[in-house]
Structure 1
Amino acid sequence: MTLFSGKARAMAVLLGASALAAPVGAMAKAAPALSAREAALLARLEKLEAEVSQLRADAAATRQQQGEAVQAVATQANTATQVAQSAAQEAKATGERVAAVEKKPTPEGMRVGATNIRIGGFLKFNADYSHFDGGTVATNTLGRDFYLPQAIPVVTPTSRSSTDTDFSAKQTRIWLNLDTTVAGHTVRGYLETDFQTTASAAANVTGGGSQRTTNGYTLALRRAFVQLDKWTFGQDWTTFQNTAVLPESTDFVGATEGTVFVRQPLVRYSTPLSKAATLHVSVENPESATANAGSAALVENGTDHLPDFSARLNYMTRRGEISFAALGRQVRTEAAGAGITRAGFGGSVAGKIFLNEKRTSDLRFSATYGQNIGRYVGLNFAPDAVYVAATNSLADVRVFAALAAARIAITPTLRVNVIGSMQSADYDGSLSPTAIAAYNKKAWSGAVNLFYSPVKAIDLGIEYRHGQRELVNGQKGNIDRLEFAARYNF
């Protein structure tokens, strides 16, 4: 910058000198030749002009290089931005894929080949304190294990009340669930067992111990079926029953006299009719449980020719569910080598109404009516039909049963259940009162319980129940039971 300034000043001096010399020369009519000093100044001027031109060229080149450098930096920055954006998008996509994978529920159980196997159930302990005002109930019988209205002794002039305390773990339940897909078809297998259902559960198990020693009980089949797409083959709850409305109870059943309650072999087809409605139709194992006039004992005939037929329509909404079920069957017995039959039919409506959005509180109900369907209701409280030897015929028996229950959540871990149920049997008018005097006529019960779940898998409950049984002849018996239950669900 200093050199350039000096040259500029010199140039200015020369130009000034030239400007002064021009008029003088004109007036002097121009000298014929430049002096040595002038020639030197002119040479220096030309040199300065050349240097200025070179400086301008250098400055232009520098500016061009700087522009190219800036452009290169901008290009690099733009490329880096694009790379960063691409990396961010890839990271986001990867994160979304990982989140989607993590969001998928982890399959429970274990895999064996293409089959997913799950084991579940619960371990249950019961402690009962029972008072019967009509007499004693034999030890190691079902009436001591859970509420069974037909086992309540009725009051007689000679009967004395009894009080019993029983502890048990035989209601413990284990199930096995198998799921797989074969050639595009969904296949499911299910096996469920407990120690209460077996015929030897109430009685001492031979070789297995007794209440005096080891309290050993035999594992018994509850349910065992295979499902192929919409078909079910095996032993399951009857289609005539809606198990979803059974109340929460410390008891094995909860509302025995008021509910349909049967498990048996069947073939069932289930299909959705809409998003809310599902239809189930089935053919099921037949069995006729009749009574002979003059005796209240039930006879399991085993001479049936036709299966039982059942259908149920389930309808579910956001606020609850309701079902309508129908049953058709033939009751059959044999006498003197000849078959005697009566038609049986029934209908049942059951439902559940949710009382809050979390569905922790609800109302449950069921009502069933039918003719010659006794074994389906209340654990066979009334016979299917009555055989009258004098006329060699079967007399009809009509039953009506109902239950209602409220489940109220007090806190996330504490809840109350209030339960009521009843059943009434109506015997054909052709039967003499004396012939059916000892038959079951009515039963009802009411219960209230409190459940506490300190952790998710544990339920602790205490329940009080009062129940009554009435015979055709008017005799009655009552039970008062206080029961504690502890259950670990797995």
Structure 2
Amino acid sequence: MNHTRQALRALLLTGALALPSLAQARAAHEAELEARLEKLEGEMIALKADLQAARQQQAETAQAASLAQAQATGIAAAAAKAEAVEKRVASLEARPTPPAEGFRDGNTTVRLGGYLKLVATNSRFSGGEMANNTQGRDFWLPQSIPVGKGPASRDQDFSARQTRLWLNFASDIAGHAVKGYVETDFETTPNTSASVTGGGNQRTTNGYTLALRRAWMQVDKWTFGQDWTTFQYTGALPESTDYVGTTEGTVFVRQPLVRYSQALSKELTLHVAAENPETASASLGAPALTENGDDHLPDATARLAYAGKIGELSLAGLARQLRVQNGALSDTRFGWGLSAAGKLYLSTDRVSDLRFMATYGNGAGRYIGVNFAPDAVLDPASGQLHGVSTFAAMAALRLGIASGLRANLMGSYQHVRYADDIAAASIATYNREAWSVAGNLFWSPVRNIDLGIELRHGQRKLVNGGSGKLDRVEFAAKYGF
């Protein structure tokens, strides 16, 4: 019994001694668990931070890639634009242009320009001799070709009469754009024979009379003065050694006018004008033209002009009163005309192009072909004016061959129809038709210098069937400034 009590006491004593050790172990285990939990939480926070950083880096990389692509696109566009600008600059540098600076006189900028030109022609006329010191010896003027069966003639002529000078004025007055222009040359005069012969001769001085070509002022949309008729599209004139090039097929008049111009859009402009009237008539039996000076109303003209990437287009109209007074007798007729013309670009640098014009009218003779046909035919006995219809057309192809080298091919035609009530015998020596073909080669060795050689064949035909032909070789040297 005593032994049992002693054993139980020893067991209790041993358990009492072991309880603190167990409690201590448990506490240590809990502390270890807490430490591991804190470490795990720290690792989770670090992982979240790494994930956020990775996503930020991915977004920045995508943005950088997009920016790089945009920069590459911008660089390509800039390179293309630079190339286009270089081509445009080269094209502009290849053209003879006047200096942009000019000089100042008060609030007006004045610029001087023009060109110096020498023309050498060798002409063969099939129908006889053409008079010396006449315009038909200087340039293609079909109405002056000798007609007949006389011996052919050949003539050599040198001339600098096509030399041209102009002054351009520009001012800003009280908020208005004011411009002025004066242009002269030595080719045309009021009376060719007297002026040319009286001013000099080919034996010694070769002096020629200075003639007014254009003189106008512009105030905003209004033009007052002498200029190309609104009925004409000058852009169709070909590059030629000749003064005109396609004379018989071209509307060609300079005269005093009042014109209003209104832009209808960025590419479309409407021009309307009242212009100097002058009825050019011929009398039955006498083809010579007469300036009558009997007109009562101005000629009315209008032109719709388009300018765009493909080129330029023009549609023009003419309405006029024809009037002739012969003593106590007088008569009036209505005259009209329509003309379509243009220039189509065949290359991006605009060196190559196609130019054309087609014109039809009744009583519009003086506007076409430098007055190849009369506006009307006068019967002196009755004072009656008979109608004259005219059709004319021209085309010119300009081709760039190499830098500074280009070729031009051109053809031109005019046909005249007289009223059916006119006896054929009374208009037998009137002009019926004219045509010509020409080709040239131009070379610009340096800027503003043009050297050209041209071959031309042309023909004039009368109502009675008589005809005359011209074959010409022409050289020209021009310095534009």
**TM-score, structure 1 length as denominator?**
0.77
1:56 alignment counterpart:
none
2:121 alignment counterpart:
128
2:332 alignment counterpart:
341
* Cα distance in 2 for residues equivalent to 1:457 and 1:359: 17
Match of 1:314 among 305, 319, 325: 305
Match of 1:329 among 309, 320, 323: 320
After TM superposition, give the deviation of residue 226 of structure 1 in Å: 0.4
Contact 2:133 2:196 in 1 (8 A): no
After TM superposition, give the deviation of residue 107 of structure 1 in Å: 4.5
After TM superposition, give the deviation of residue 106 of structure 1 in Å: 9.0
* Cα distance in 1 for residues equivalent to 2:191 and 2:163: 15
The secondary structure found in structure 1 opposite 2:199 is coil
After TM superposition, give the deviation of residue 457 of structure 1 in Å: 0.8
* Cα distance in 1 for residues equivalent to 2:264 and 2:443: 39
Contact 1:450 1:462 in 2 (8 A): yes
* Cα distance in 2 for residues equivalent to 1:242 and 1:256: 14
After TM superposition, give the deviation of residue 298 of structure 1 in Å: 0.7
* Cα distance in 1 for residues equivalent to 2:425 and 2:441: 44
Does 1:415 find its partner at 2:406?
yes
After TM superposition, give the deviation of residue 155 of structure 1 in Å: 2.5
The secondary structure found in structure 1 opposite 2:432 is strand
* Cα distance in 2 for residues equivalent to 1:456 and 1:428: 52
* Cα distance in 1 for residues equivalent to 2:434 and 2:370: 12
- Aligned counterparts, 1:182-197, within 5 A: 182-197=173-188
* Cα distance in 2 for residues equivalent to 1:206 and 1:314: 41
Letter in 1 for 2:353: D
* Cα distance in 2 for residues equivalent to 1:153 and 1:208: 26
After TM superposition, give the deviation of residue 297 of structure 1 in Å: 0.8
The secondary structure found in structure 1 opposite 2:131 is coil
Q: Could you say if the C-alpha distance between residues 487 and 107 of structure 1 is closer, same or farther in structure 2, counting changes exceeding 3 Å?
A: closer
* Cα distance in 2 for residues equivalent to 1:404 and 1:464: 16
Match of 1:452 among 443, 451, 456: 443
Q: Could you say if the C-alpha distance between residues 206 and 360 of structure 1 is closer, same or farther in structure 2, counting changes exceeding 3 Å?
A: closer
2:85 alignment counterpart:
none
CA-atom RMSD in angstroms: 1.5
Contact 1:342 1:394 in 2 (8 A): yes
The secondary structure found in structure 1 opposite 2:286 is coil
- Aligned counterparts, 1:127-166, within 5 A: 127-156=120-149, 159-166=150-157
Contact 1:140 1:203 in 2 (8 A): no
Letter in 2 for 1:250: T
Letter in 2 for 1:271: Q
The secondary structure found in structure 1 opposite 2:172 is strand
1:384 alignment counterpart:
375
* Cα distance in 2 for residues equivalent to 1:106 and 1:422: 38
The secondary structure found in structure 2 opposite 1:375 is helix
Letter in 1 for 2:387: D
The secondary structure found in structure 1 opposite 2:366 is helix
* Cα distance in 1 for residues equivalent to 2:194 and 2:238: 27
Contact 1:142 1:202 in 2 (8 A): no
* Cα distance in 2 for residues equivalent to 1:340 and 1:416: 49
Letter in 2 for 1:144: R
Q: Any gaps of 5 or more consecutive residues in structure 1?
A: 1-102
Does 1:293 find its partner at 2:276?
no
- Aligned counterparts, 1:266-277, within 5 A: 266-277=257-268
Contact 2:325 2:383 in 1 (8 A): no
The secondary structure found in structure 2 opposite 1:297 is strand
Cα-to-partner distance string for 1:220-239 (whole Å, 9 max, x where unaligned): 10000000000000000000
Cα-to-partner distance string for 1:60-106 (whole Å, 9 max, x where unaligned): xxxxxxxxxxxxxxxxxxxxxxxxxxxxxxxxxxxxxxxxxxx9x99
The secondary structure found in structure 2 opposite 1:144 is helix
1:428 alignment counterpart:
419
Letter in 2 for 1:409: G
* Cα distance in 2 for residues equivalent to 1:208 and 1:267: 33
Letter in 1 for 2:239: E
- Aligned counterparts, 1:55-454, within 5 A: 107-156=100-149, 159-201=150-192, 203=194, 205=196, 208-454=199-445
The secondary structure found in structure 2 opposite 1:435 is helix
Q: Could you say if the C-alpha distance between residues 243 and 184 of structure 1 is closer, same or farther in structure 2, counting changes exceeding 3 Å?
A: same
After TM superposition, give the deviation of residue 317 of structure 1 in Å: 1.4
Letter in 2 for 1:217: Y
The secondary structure found in structure 2 opposite 1:451 is strand
Pairs aligned (count): 385
The secondary structure found in structure 2 opposite 1:257 is helix
After TM superposition, give the deviation of residue 265 of structure 1 in Å: 0.2
Q: Any gaps of 5 or more consecutive residues in structure 2?
A: 1-88, 90-97
Contact 1:256 1:378 in 2 (8 A): yes
Cα-to-partner distance string for 1:100-156 (whole Å, 9 max, x where unaligned): xxx9x9952001111100000000000000000000000001110110000011123
Letter in 1 for 2:479: Y
Deviates more, 1:381-390 or 1:412-421: 381-390
Contact 2:133 2:197 in 1 (8 A): no
* Cα distance in 2 for residues equivalent to 1:256 and 1:134: 20
2:475 alignment counterpart:
484
